[in-house]
Amino acid sequence: MKIIWSSVSGDGFQAELVPVDVAGKVLGQLRAGIGTIGQDEDGTFWFEVFDNGAGIRVPLAEVEQAIADAKEEVHCESYYDGLAQPDEP
């Protein structure tokens, strides 16, 4: 992922999150990126993801909380395989 800083007329200064290949080349078109981080006039930060060209905007604080929760609760399959112990006779 790469951050491209942009200034869209009427939306202030934003961070565009775009996918890149292993060489760092941007994949797809810029406006079809992963999402955008911006700020409302009241100072609230938001994260906008794109679904078939339509933007879905959520408060950035909610995304940050979801990431923090995921870091605590999400585990790979082998984590659970190690927890499963057969009953001892």
Q: How high is the pLDDT of residue 61?
A: 96
pLDDT > 70 in the chain, percent: 85
Per the DSSP assignment, residues forming a β-bridge with 7 are 13
How high is the pLDDT of residue 33?
A: 75
Sign of CA dihedral 55, 69, 2, 44: positive
Over residues 30-57, the pLDDT tens digits come to 545 788 999 999 999 999 998 777 889 9
What amino acid is encoded at 42 in this protein? D
The reported pTM is 0.72
